[in-house]
Each structure stands twice: as structure tokens, then as C-alpha cells.
Amino acid sequence: MSDVFFSADTHFNHAKCCELFRAGRFSSLDEMNETMIERWNGRVKRGDRVYHLGDVALGRLEDAAEIRTHQG
């Protein structure tokens, strides 16, 4: 049976979030992105339904699509 998740405001590739909201937690934007992807993949599996309510990523559409391909 699949699970249902709700998510919002992950802000992948948003350097200001890394600086302001994650101060001291991550040494770089890449580390923040990789950590979020790792945690996502540890919880969300193929077949699960995810409703993402906004602000997935900042930047080019291609960058957001690349992040999505790393998710389970």
C-alpha cells in the first residue's frame, strides 16, 4: 500500500535559505540539497503519492528537474 505525503517550501538551490535558516547546519548549498534528497529518499518510495504545495526549488527549470531525478 502506498503512503500519502504533503510537503511545501523545500527551496532546493536557494542559497539564502542555506545561509539564513540553516546557519551552521550545512557547510554548502550542495550539502543542503544532498541531505534533503537523502532524507526524502529514505522516507518516500516509488508508488507513494506526494502533494508538493509550493516553492520546490529556486533557479532554472532544468535544475529542479535534475533534483527530481535523484528522488526515489
Per-residue pLDDT of 3-51, as tens digits, reads 999 999 888 888 887 777 656 678 888 888 888 889 988 999 889 998 9
Residue 59 structural domain: 4-69
Which residues does residue 5 pair with via DSSP β-bridges, in sequence order?
A: 50
Q: How many Å apart are CA 30 and CA 18, to the nearest integer? A: 10
What pLDDT is stored for residue 59 in this prediction?
Answer: 74
pTM, two decimals, is: 0.73
Instruction: For residue 55, give the amino acid letter.
Output: D
One-letter identity of residue 11: H
Tell me how many domains the chain contains: 1
What is the sign, positive or negative, of the torsion defined by CA atoms of 39, 36, 34, 25?
negative
